[in-house]
């Protein structure tokens, strides 16, 4: 295997890894924040360069295919905008004294480590490596969630940690089982963990063993996806951590775990005797959707509200992939991308809202479009998008999911639609209360308009996707949808 002069795959990993080390060493908030942005941007560029140029043969450890390239690009992009948002967010936190410069050094290093972990999980061609990467990303986010060192933050981190650890263990058990299934066919050793090899030979694997493996993987990685009833860590981790991390958690980490589930779904689909993973995923997706939809109503904390909304959307995505078929898979992929962009935009907005209003309690926030029009309308637009209203992109995916489901399995569409509507009602109710009405809460000056740039950039993308999907992107998605079976 010839090593090209510039290997984008390696760059996607190396840049965050190197900057993590660097950031851990460097003092000073201004410099590190800028460096963080720069490193994220470089990573993003590297990810973009993956699209150009021929792809090499899949390596033993790393590889790039149609599926993960989308994930990597999305991941690095949101990672980049989140770092931009984080810069302005962190400044405010420093000014108000919630964080110390010492915290920041740790924070930025962890940020890049997390990016490294997530990118690694995507490009890993080895299910063991993927597992390690997912766990690395998880553990770094655990540390970030506890960053504020408040009782609540530590509590949330602890909950996340314990539940995550069990998830880690179960996912590992599943990984071992996959190896066991592969080993008689592929042979001992490393080959039996290389994903590309596994898919090739999956048809001859012992289906019963694969089934068992999938159960453990679904529960293990599903915990990270935040599927009910494994979701418990998610709302608190989102609510108590720094907002950039909430954005990254919702927008990216959930995708990482989802990606892992998808990989194994493909594996299972390639084995004719195995249990169909579809019904399991459909069931879990629906349960998550409906459950989260109802949970939205009693929320008081704005970040926790959107954390539950993430559970809801993960439910939708898993449901779509569970349904399978070109249309639903396409819709699931699209929904995943749209959700990442939208939800992170919402969290950016929510971060600013919590800062200008000085509270995360929704009851204390109202009339935002009056006091902070730029922020208020951006927030509203984000909620409109996440609620699945056109012309935003989420609508397109929801349109495809619901209509294709109804054409295939009308009975499944009923809980799906009920869940969507229930969630819709809750979101509209809360968003109206926050954005409109007599202004209340703090009237702190708006942050510089430039800090809204990431929000509007995301929303513009979502809007554009709702109106027009460029043919190359559609091509990618269709290929991937085909891969997913």
Partner 1 sequence: MQATATLLTVVSALLAVAVPAVALSRRPWAGTLVYGVSLAASLAGLGVALAALLAGAGSELTLPLGLPWIGARFRIDALSAFFLAVVNLGGAAASLYGLGYGRHEEAPHRVLPFYPVFLAGMNLVVLADDAFTFLVSWEFMSLASWALVLAHHREAANRQAATVYLVMAGFGTMALLLAFGLLAGTGGEYGFSAIREAVRDPAVSSLALVLALVGAGSKAGLAPLHVWLPLAHPAAPSHVSALMSGVMTKVAVYGFVRIVFDLIGEPAWWSAILLLALGGGTAVLGILHALMERDLKRLLAYSTIENIGIVFACLGLALAFRADGMGWAAALALTAALFHVLNHSLFKSLLFFGAGAVLTATGGRDMERLGGLIHRMPATALFFLAGSIAISALPPFNGFISEWLAFQAILQSPELGGWGLKIVVPAVGGMLALAAALAAACFVRAFGVSFLGRPRTPEAGTAREADRFSLAAMGSLALLCLAAGTLPGFVIDALAPVTRLLVGGAMPLQADRPWLSIVPIAESRSSYNGLLVFAFIVLSASLSAFAVHRLASSRLRRAPAWDCGFPVAGAATQYSAGGFAQPFRRIFGTTVFAAREEVTMPPPGDMRPARLSLAIHDPVWERAYLPLARAVDALAGRLNRLQFLTIRRYLTLVFLFLVALLLVLALWT
Partner 2 sequence: MVTALSFDIAHMLAGGLVLVSFMLLYQDRLHGLINTYALHALVLSASVAWQAWAQGAPHLYVTAAVALLFKALVIPLALHRIIRRLGIHRDIENVVGIGLTMLTGMGLVALSMVVMLRIAADADPLAREDLAMALAVVLLGLLLMVTRRNAIGQVVGFMSLENGLVLAAAGARGMPLVVEISVAFSVLVAFIVIGIVLFRIRERFDTVDIRALDDFRGERR
For residue 32, which of 119, 117, 120, 102 has the smallest C-alpha distance? 102
Exactly one of 49, 51, 61, 165 binds partner 2 (CB under 8 A); that residue is 165
* Closest listed residue to residue 405, CA positions, set 319, 291, 293, 339: 319
411 binds partner 1 (CB under 8 A): no
CA atoms of 330 and 482, how far apart (whole Å): 9
100 binds, among partner 1, partner 2, none (CB under 5 to 8 A by kind): none
Which residues, 427 to 456, sit near partner 1 by CB under 8 A? 428-429, 432-433, 436-438
> In angstroms, what is the minimal distance from the CB of 110 to partner 2?
15
CA–CA gap between residue 133 and residue 122 (Å, rounded): 9
User: At its nearest, how many Å lie between partner 1 and the CB of residue 81?
Assistant: 23
- Single residue of 358, 390, 442, 485 touching partner 1 by CB under 8 A: 390
Task: Based on the shown chain and the rule CB under 8 A, indicate whether residue 152 belongs to the binding site for partner 2.
Answer: yes
Q: In this complex, which beta carbon is closest to partner 2, that of residue 34 or of residue 298?
A: 298
Which residue from 53, 190, 474, 482 is in contact with partner 1, where contact means CB under 8 A?
474
Instruction: Rank residues 150 and 403 by Cβ distance to partner 2 and give the closer one.
Output: 150
The answer to whether 453 and 349 are in contact (CB under 8 A) is no
User: Counting every residue, how long is the chain?
Assistant: 485
Site string for partner 1, 203-242 (x = CB under 8 A): -----x--xx--xx-xx---x-----xx-xx-x-------
Quick count: other Cβ atoms within 10 Å of Cβ 482? 12
Q: Which of 35, 39, 87, 209 binds partner 2 (CB under 8 A)?
A: 209
List helix spans (H) across 124-232.
127-145, 151-186, 195-201, 207-225
The closest alpha carbon to 343, from 305, 374, 377, belongs to 305
Cβ-defined contacts of 48-57 (< 8 Å, 24+) = 48/73, 49/6, 49/8, 49/11, 50/8, 50/9, 50/12, 53/8, 56/1, 56/4, 56/7, 57/1
Question: Which residue from 68, 125, 271, 404 is in contact with partner 1, where contact means CB under 8 A?
Answer: 404
Binding residue for partner 2 (CB under 8 A) from 298, 403, 421, 460? 298
Q: Which long-range contacts (CB under 8 A, 24 or more apart) does 58-63 make?
A: 58/125, 58/194, 58/196, 59/1, 59/125, 60/125, 60/126, 60/190, 60/194, 61/124, 61/125, 61/126, 61/129, 62/9, 62/10, 62/13, 62/123, 62/124, 62/125, 63/9, 63/123, 63/125, 63/195, 63/196
Task: Identify residues 376-435 at the interface with partner 2 (CB under 8 A).
Answer: none
Q: Which does 239 bind (CB under 5 to 8 A by kind): partner 1, partner 2, none?
A: partner 2
**Is 444 within 8 Å of 356 (Cβ atoms)?**
yes
- Segment 167 to 196, residues that bind partner 2, using CB under 8 A: 168-170, 172-173, 176-177, 179-180, 183-184, 188-190, 192-193
How far is 193 from 197, CA to CA, in rounded Å?
8
Q: Residue 28 touches which of partner 2, partner 1, none (CB < 5 to 8 A by kind)? A: none
Question: Is residue 360 close enough to count as binding partner 2 by CB under 8 A?
Answer: yes
Binding positions for partner 1, 308-337, rule CB under 8 A: 325, 327
Q: Which is nearer to partner 1, 197 or 404 (CB)?
A: 404
Partnered with residue 194 across adjacent β-strands are 126
Q: Which does 384 bind (CB under 5 to 8 A by kind): partner 2, partner 1, none?
A: partner 1
469 binds, among partner 2, partner 1, none (CB under 5 to 8 A by kind): partner 1
Q: With CB cut-offs between 5 and 8 Å by kind, which of partner 1, partner 2, none does residue 294 bind?
A: partner 1
Beta bridge partners of 361: 301
Pairwise CA distance, residues 368 & 381, whole Å: 13
- Under the binding rule (CB under 8 A), the answer on residue 405 touching partner 1 is yes
Token pair listed for 88: 């302005």
Nearest to 177 by CA among 127, 113, 116: 127
Three-state DSSP class for residue 192: helix
Residues that bind partner 2 (CB under 8 A): 128, 132, 135, 151-152, 154-155, 158-159, 161-162, 165-166, 168-170, 172-173, 176-177, 179-180, 183-184, 188-190, 192-193, 206, 208-209, 211-212, 239, 298-301, 304, 360-361, 363
Residues that bind partner 1 (CB under 8 A): 158-159, 162-163, 166-167, 170, 208, 211-212, 215-216, 218-219, 223, 229-230, 232-233, 235, 275, 280, 291, 294-298, 325, 327, 367, 369, 384, 387-391, 395-396, 399-400, 402-408, 410, 413, 417, 420-422, 424-425, 428-429, 432-433, 436-438, 466-469, 471, 474
């Amino acid at each position: 295997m010839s090593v090209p002069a510039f290997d984008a795959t390696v760059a996607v990993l190396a840049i965050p890894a190197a900057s993590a080390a660097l950031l851990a060493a460097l003092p000073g908030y201004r410099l590190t924040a800028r460096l963080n942005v720069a490193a994220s941007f470089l990573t993003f560029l590297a990810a973009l360069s993956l699209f150009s140029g021929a792809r090499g043969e899949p390596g033993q450890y790393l590889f790039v295919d149609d599926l993960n390239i989308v994930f990597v690009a999305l991941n690095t992009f949101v990672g980049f905008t989140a770092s931009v948002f984080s810069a302005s967010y962190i400044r405010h936190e420093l000014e108000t004294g919630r964080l110390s410069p010492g915290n920041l050094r740790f924070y930025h290093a962890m940020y890049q480590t997390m990016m490294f972990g997530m990118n690694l999980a995507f490009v890993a061609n080895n299910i063991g490596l993927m597992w390690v990467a997912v766990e690395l990303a998880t553990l770094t986010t655990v540390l970030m969630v506890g960053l504020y060192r408040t009782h609540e933050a530590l509590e949330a981190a602890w909950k996340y940690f314990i539940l995550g650890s069990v998830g880690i263990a179960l996912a590992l058990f599943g990984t071992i089982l996959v190896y066991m299934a592969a080993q008689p066919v592929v042979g001992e050793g490393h080959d039996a963990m290389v994903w590309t090899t596994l898919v090739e030979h999956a048809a001859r694997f012992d289906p019963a063993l694969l089934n068992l493996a999938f159960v453990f993987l679904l529960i293990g990685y599903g915990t990270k996806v935040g599927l009910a009833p494994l979701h418990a860590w998610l709302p608190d981790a989102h609510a108590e951590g720094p907002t950039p991390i909430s954005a990254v958690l919702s927008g990216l980490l959930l995708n990482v775990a989802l990606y892992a589930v998808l990989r194994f779904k493909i594996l299972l689909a390639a084995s004719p005797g195995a249990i169909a993973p579809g019904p399991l995923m459909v069931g879990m997706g629906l349960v998550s959707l409906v459950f989260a939809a109802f949970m939205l109503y009693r929320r008081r904390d704005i970040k926790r509200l959107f954390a539950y909304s993430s559970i809801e959307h993960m439910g939708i995505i898993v449901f779509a992939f569970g349904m399978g078929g070109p249309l639903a898979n396409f819709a699931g992929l699209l929904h995943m991308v749209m959700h990442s962009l939208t939800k992170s935009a919402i969290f950016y907005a929510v971060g600013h809202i919590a800062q200008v209003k000085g509270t995360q309690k929704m009851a204390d926030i109202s009339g935002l479009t009056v006091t902070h029009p730029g922020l208020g309308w951006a927030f509203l637009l984000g909620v409109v998008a996440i609620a699945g209203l056109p012309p935003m992109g989420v609508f397109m995916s929801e349109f495809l999911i619901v209509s294709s489901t109804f054409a295939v399995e009308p009975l499944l569409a009923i809980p799906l639609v009920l869940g969507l509507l229930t969630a819709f009602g809750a979101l509209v109710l809360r968003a109206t209360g926050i954005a409109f009405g007599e202004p209340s809460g703090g009237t702190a000056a708006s942050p510089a308009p430039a800090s809204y740039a990431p929000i509007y950039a995301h929303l513009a993308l979502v809007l554009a996707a709702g109106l027009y999907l460029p043919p190359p992107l559609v091509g990618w998605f269709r290929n991937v949808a085909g891969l997913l079976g």
